Amino acid sequence: MLFFSSKQYLSHTSLFDHFINKLENSQLSFSINGALPSKDILTTKRVPSNINIAFSKYEAISLMNKLPNFMISTGSACSAGEFDYSHVLKALDLSFDDLKNSVRISFGKDSKIEELDKFLSAINSL
């Protein structure tokens, strides 16, 4: 089980890094909410299977409406149906603008770089 977990962790880390590198090379202004994942599964302060990002140009709800073919959200699955900003993001002491502009992007075990590139292409074309 540990082997599978380590393998999946490295796969998600690769997706996370690819996504962030592509964003950094785009014209989008964004900030990552929370720590970056470590390459070491035992010392990381976050899992790389999701990214929470504030896009300064887009409110989260508007972005979700403009990109209906992508599974992005404003919170975790355990907060589904709630109309309040994430308690985790509030604990990070984000500004109101960053709270309302933050989206969560999750990777599944079968997520592919090509899917991330499609999302990035879609958001860059808005």
Instruction: Divide the 126 residues of the chain into consecutive groups of 10 and give the mean pLDDT of each group.
Output: 71 94 93 91 86 94 93 70 75 91 91 94 93
Per-residue pLDDT, 1: 44
Angstrom distance (rounded) from CA 79 to CA 81: 6
Give the CATH fold of the 2-124 domain.
Aspartate Aminotransferase, domain 1 (3.90.1150)
- Can you give the pLDDT at residue 3? 54
The domain spans of the chain are 2-124
pTM of the predicted model as reported, rounded to 2 decimal places: 0.83
